Amino acid sequence: MEKRVLLIVSGGIAAVKSPQLIRGLKDKGIASRCILTRGGARFVTPLALAALSGQKVYEDLFSLNDDNEMGHIELSRSADLIVVAPATAHILARMATGLADDLASTALLATDKPVMVVPAMNVRMWQHPATQLNIETLRARGVIVVGPEQGEMACGEFGFGRLSEPEDIIRAIEDFYSPASLPLGGKRALVTSGPTLEAIDPVRYIANRSSGKQGHAIAAALAELGAETTLVSGPVNEPDPVGVAVIHVQSARDMLKACENVLPTDIAVCAAAVSDWRSAEQAPSKMKKNGSAPPALELALNPDILATLSAASNKRPTLVIGFAAETNDLIAHASKKRSAKGCDWIIANDVSPASGTFGGDDNTVHLISADGVEDWPKMSKLAVARKLAERIAHSLDQQQ
């Protein structure tokens, strides 16, 4: 299978390294087709990129003169991976906000393919809170970020902002194509996320405030480390993470069925806020008031997905991890949950209203295992996800 990258070269002195990148990719059997932004064209010529890539270079959103030309939609889908190198602060901002004012940004908005960005800019621009927020936003959407590196810059300043060396960019692209070389390459992971909805009648349901942010971030982080990841999610507003197979479910019973179908896996992380109870009866039509007294809602216990996966006799994942959402006596309750549910690790998190965990972007967690309790400092849900994915990779590595 031919490996094809759509390379977007945006403006900046680092654009002069793009011919070297194209040549290096070609040596590895990876073909590139280029989009050159107006800024990029100030530093490198379309002719140079066309000669090296052996392909027409695309610059203009509205120049579909001949039948062989590709529009932004086709361009954005013609490759396995879109690489923005160099990625300026401006193109990162446009990506983060969804602007589509030229061919490059339009292709990036229209794509359904994984995207990698390789930032290059002045150190102050890189450190600016706006750029950092944009990068976090992009990472949360599953964009792979390579670099930037620290060093002497073309503007004479020193710091983070240098484009990664072409060989490092090529290595990251190769990792994308062969996840076997990544820490979780060859491993399979299952993650549950979000709330479950338990129908009372066709219009009413029992649910909870889970946003799915933490579970989705964990699925993305596991996939980033090379695990073949399936996310089973209740209804959330989070987008499906890139590179992850997503099964959308509503109820706890559907979530359990979907999870059992995904087994066997090496890793299971149950981050869903599964509704403990469901309405014992689901009315087939909308329940009416009819002037009578409110009906009593009888509840039935839902299956416990974490406990079921932990006890799966022949298909138990090697590492089963649960969350313990508690509002008080966090460590005591969570440790009890770990043994009661039979999982290997429990991530204990405080969900008291004061903590802001539900729906918020930060989380303060404690990792509880057979070895004891490890307190992690307050960090973003994204950082928790990455740290957890690395710990998982380390633990599976040790067990081999």
Q: Does the footprint of ligand CTP cover residue 262 (CB under 6 A)?
A: no
> Scanning the structure block, which residue is given the tokens 């007294």?
293
Is residue 34 annotated as a catalytic residue, yes or no? no
Q: Does the footprint of ligand CTP cover residue 276 (CB under 6 A)?
A: yes
Closest contact distance (angstroms) between CB of 192 and ligand CTP is: 6
Q: Does the footprint of ligand CTP cover residue 322 (CB under 6 A)?
A: yes
One of 305, 388, 392, 393 touching ligand CTP (CB under 6 A): 305
Helix (H, G, I), strand (E, B) or coil at 244: coil
C-beta separation of 382 from 140 below 8 A = yes
Q: Which is nearer to ligand CTP, 20 or 308 (CB)?
A: 308
Q: Which is nearer to ligand CTP, 105 or 349 (CB)?
A: 349
Closest by Cα among 164, 168, 10, 33 to 91: 10
Q: Does the footprint of ligand CTP cover residue 270 (CB under 6 A)?
A: yes
Only segment of 61-69, 265-273, 312-320, 376-384 that touches ligand CTP (CB under 6 A): 265-273
Long-range contacts, stretch 205-210, CB < 8 angstroms, 24+ apart: 206/275, 206/277, 206/278, 206/279, 207/275, 208/273, 208/275, 209/273, 209/358, 209/359, 210/234, 210/236, 210/272, 210/273, 210/358
C-beta separation of 147 from 164 below 8 A = yes
Q: Which is nearer to ligand CTP, 122 or 364 (CB)?
A: 364
Contacts of 235 by beta carbon, 8 Å cutoff, 6+ apart: 194, 195, 197, 248, 250
Q: Does the footprint of ligand CTP cover residue 212 (CB under 6 A)?
A: no
Only segment of 100-108, 170-178, 302-310, 374-382 that touches ligand CTP (CB under 6 A): 302-310
Q: Does the footprint of ligand CTP cover residue 211 (CB under 6 A)?
A: no
Distances (CA, A) of 368 to 218, 274, 347, 373: 17, 20, 6, 5
One of 337, 338, 366, 381 touching ligand CTP (CB under 6 A): 337
One of 252, 330, 388, 389 touching ligand CTP (CB under 6 A): 252
Residues in contact with ligand CTP by CB under 6 A are: 192, 252, 270, 272-274, 276, 302, 304-306, 322-325, 337
